[in-house]
Amino acid sequence: MFKRILLRFRDMKTIGKLIPGADEQANIAGEEKPGAEHFVLSALNLEDGTARRAFEKFGVDSAKFQEAIKVQYDEALSSVSIAQEAIEITPEPIKSDKVVHDSQPSGQNLMKSLYALKKKDKERPLLGAHIIIVAASIEHGVIPRAFKVLGVDRGLLAKAAREELDAVQH
Amino acid sequence: MSDIKSLPSSKTPEKVLAAVVAMRRAADQLERKAVKEAIEQGWSWSDVAEALGVSKQAAHKRHAAHIKNARVKLGKNNV
């Protein structure tokens, strides 16, 4: 019982870092609200290091994932004959002063799936690898397109993230 | 209604939807930049709203905070 309370307290602390981290990543990219990809970037910065290590197995780090996000946007614009250079949009970082957190729908869905996953995994604290497992399960949108750019197989990434979870002592 | 010629075939919805998301994001960022520039050049919020085809309240709500924050960051508090 006491262990559960401690775990819950730790999870709240992790969420307290994950969400502001996602907000920050979105604002750096010039977006008002974080999407699922910004939660992944935030997870890569979490102190437990499980998300970062799962990515490292594929030779990917935070900078490479950020670049892949940019590339998939550029490719999508190219597919409609718009060159990113042609419209000269360099995302300007946003300095947000909002008090209440709000995410893009993809970010909200990621958090819902994360809650469902964590509900099944009550013995472990919330870790970055949990977020990677959820991200790897997303079939459409920016995240799977970025993984495609990186040549990362989503199933293998989820497996790597699960191994990271298993390596953490209960 | 005919399709936009430069869009990928609608038989590949993943590609078309990715293009829509990218264009929407690019449009948002272009709008933010242009509004900031307009306000810095002395446009009123009414002018900006008219040019964007939205209400003054909508334009202000969407952009005022960012512009204010950007100015504070630059040390310009005269917003």
B79 and A CB contact within 8 Å? no
Q: Residues near A6 by Cβ (< 8 Å), separated by ≥ 6?
A: none
**What pLDDT is stored for residue A88 in this prediction?**
55
B74 and A CB contact within 8 Å? no
Q: Sign of dihedral through CA atoms B17, B22, B25, B28? A: negative
Q: Sign of dihedral through CA atoms B17, B21, B23, B24? A: positive
pLDDT band of A101, cuts 50, 70, 90: confident
CA–CA separation, A73 vs B19, rounded Å?
Answer: 8
- Domain boundaries along the sequence of chain A: 2-87+103-167
Mutation for testing the A interface, residue in B16, B29, B30 having most A CBs under 10 Å: B29
Of the partner residues B4, B8, B29, the one whose CB lies closest to the CB of residue A91: B29
The predicted complex's ipTM stands at 0.78
Distance set, CA A2 to CA A7, A14, A15 (Å): 9, 18, 20
Rg (CA), chain B: 17
Of the partner residues B26, B69, B72, the one whose CB lies closest to the CB of residue A77: B26
Q: Name the token pair of A73.
A: 């946007």
Interface of B with A in 42-71 (CB under 8 A): 65-66, 69-70
Tens digit of each residue's pLDDT (9 = 90 or more) over B22-72: 999 989 988 998 999 999 999 999 999 999 999 999 999 888 887 876 665
Give the architecture-level CATH label for domain A2-87+103-167: Orthogonal Bundle (1.10)
Please give the backbone phi and psi of residue B66, each rounded to the nearest 5 degrees, phi first.
-65, -45
**What pLDDT is stored for residue B79 in this prediction?**
41
Of the partner residues B6, B32, B65, the one whose CB lies closest to the CB of residue A80: B6
CA closest to A145 among chain B residues: B18
* A77 with B32: Cβ contact below 8 A: no
Q: Which positions in chain A have a beta carbon within 8 angstroms of at least one beta carbon in chain B?
A: 30-31, 72-77, 79-82, 87, 89, 91-92, 94-98, 140-142, 145
DSSP letter at B3 equals: P
CA closest to B18 among chain A residues: A76
The average pLDDT across A100-108 equals: 88
